[in-house]
Amino acid sequence: MEAKKIMLSGIQPSGDLHLGNYLGAIKGWVDRTEEYDNYYFMADLHTLTVRQDPEAFRKRALEQLALYIACGLDPEKNTLFYQSHVPAHAQLGWVLDCYTMFGELSRMTQFKDKSKKNADNINAGLFTYPALMAADILLYQADYVPVGEDQRQHVELTRDVANRFNGIFGETFKVPEAFVPKEGARIYGLSTPDSKMSKSIPEGCIFLMDDETTINKKVKKAVTDADTEKWVRYDPINKPGVSNMMNIIAALTGKSFEQIENDFEGMGYGKFKPAVAEVIIESLRPIREEATKLIVEEDYLRSVYRAGAEKASILAEKTLKDVYDKVGLTYK
């Protein structure tokens, strides 16, 4: 039997997980569990690039693991772990820092955005972030990296670094591909249909742990469109707000835009919004309920992340050894 291809991805525990994270990333991971050999982690080392309250950070990172599982990532079929528990990430990260160019890092959109947002803390980690991300991916010889559209640039850089290294030292790293979903690749904020749904704009962001009342409130206040036509039609240019909500429904239910247009034919936004809220509430309810149960089961969560790190280390150390051998470092 041919070995399964490797899927790998991570999310920073830098804020509570939201619908954008779910539809742009996690849902796609869950849907492909059987097809691939899966590695998913909490990118906690990356989170240190922005100042954190230590206690809140630790709690959030554990909650993220509970949510991964509640979203449907079965720990028996997916290797779930903390990035910081597999030291090879930091070790390969340093080596790749030395094979990643200043110019390349300077062009990263996320670096430019985050430097603007954290003007008083533009630290070296924020700048070299993509080299650590390249290490995360290349350690596992990943074939596919399922992420939202905004992370594509980092995966492209990873490919460049892998090709550069392979060019110098011979075949060492698998050159990975980004795996970006069609629907859900970019969910926009409910209050800002021109920028992505993000935890930094909480009023337009549906968090996975939001209760029914909160979801209803946020959807009710969602920005609809200023055009004269008041019915539901998919047109991201002229109707970004409505199209975004249609995209959410499509991604959650699997319906086509045409089906959704038909469902709401002749109805105004007054009927559309409560239906959108309903779909979101019913889709997230089982996730929230399961996560609430899991979060108090600390022993169980610990056993999951320990087993995950142990399994991940096997593959990671193999690649690290190869890299050490090639660059002339002595492996322990």
**Residue in 303, 298, 319 with CA at minimum distance from that of residue 140:** 319
Tell me the two tokens of residue 13: 């525990």
Which residue, chain included where needed, has tokens 């959030």? 60
- Interaction between residue 16 and ligand ATP (CB under 6 A): no
Which residue, chain included where needed, has tokens 């704009």? 201
- Interaction between residue 78 and ligand LTN (CB under 6 A): no
- Interaction between residue 95 and ligand ATP (CB under 6 A): no
Tell me the two tokens of residue 70: 């509640």
H-run or E-run covering 291: helix 269-295
Query: How near is the Cβ of 131 to ligand LTN at its closest, in Å?
Result: 11
Binding span for ligand ATP by CB under 6 A among 6-14, 76-84, 252-260, 312-320: 6-14
Beta carbon nearer to ligand ATP, 78 or 198: 198
In whole angstroms, what is the distance from residue 197 CA to residue 192 CA? 8
**Which residues between 20 and 59 bind ligand LTN (CB under 6 A)?**
43, 46
**Residue in 263, 199, 225 with CA at minimum distance from that of residue 19:** 199
Annotated catalytic residue 114:
yes
Amino acid at 80: L
Which residue, chain included where needed, has tokens 């492996």? 331
- Interaction between residue 92 and ligand LTN (CB under 6 A): no
Which residue, chain included where needed, has tokens 């429904």? 249
Pairing of strands 78-82, 37-42: parallel
Annotated catalytic residue 174:
no
Annotated catalytic residue 199:
yes
Tell me the two tokens of residue 164: 């550069």
In whole angstroms, what is the distance from residue 212 CA to residue 218 CA? 10
Query: How near is the Cβ of 114 to ligand ATP at its closest, in Å?
Result: 8
- Interaction between residue 232 and ligand LTN (CB under 6 A): no
**Number of residues in contact with ligand LTN, rule: CB under 6 A?**
13
Query: How near is the Cβ of 184 to ligand ATP at its closest, in Å?
Result: 6
**Residue 106 contact partner, candidates ligand ATP, ligand LTN, none, CB within 5 to 8 A by sort of partner:** none
Binding mask 122-161 for ligand LTN (x = CB under 6 A): -----------x--xx-------x-x---x--x-------
**Residue 20 contact partner, candidates ligand LTN, ligand ATP, none, CB within 5 to 8 A by sort of partner:** ligand ATP
Instruction: Give how far Cα 222 sits from Cα of 114, 189, 249, 264, 272, Å.
Output: 26, 8, 14, 17, 11
Torsion angles phi and psi, residue 37, rounded to 5: -95, 120
- Which residues 6+ apart lie within 8 Å of 127 measured at CB? 105, 111
114, 218, 239, 273: the catalytic one is: 114
- Interaction between residue 209 and ligand ATP (CB under 6 A): no
**Which residues between 150 and 189 bind ligand ATP (CB under 6 A)?**
150-151, 185-187
**Residue in 49, 51, 117, 109 with CA at minimum distance from that of residue 83:** 49
By CB under 6 A, name the one of 6, 7, 11, 252 that touches ligand ATP: 11
Beta bridge partners of 79: 39
Taking CB atoms, the residue at the shortest distance from ligand ATP is 24
H-run or E-run covering 194: none
**Residue 137 contact partner, candidates ligand LTN, ligand ATP, none, CB within 5 to 8 A by sort of partner:** ligand LTN
Binding site for ligand LTN (CB under 6 A): 9-12, 43, 46, 133, 136-137, 145, 147, 151, 154
Residues marked as catalytic: 114, 196, 199
Binding site for ligand ATP (CB under 6 A): 11-12, 14-15, 20-21, 23-25, 147-148, 150-151, 185-187, 196-200
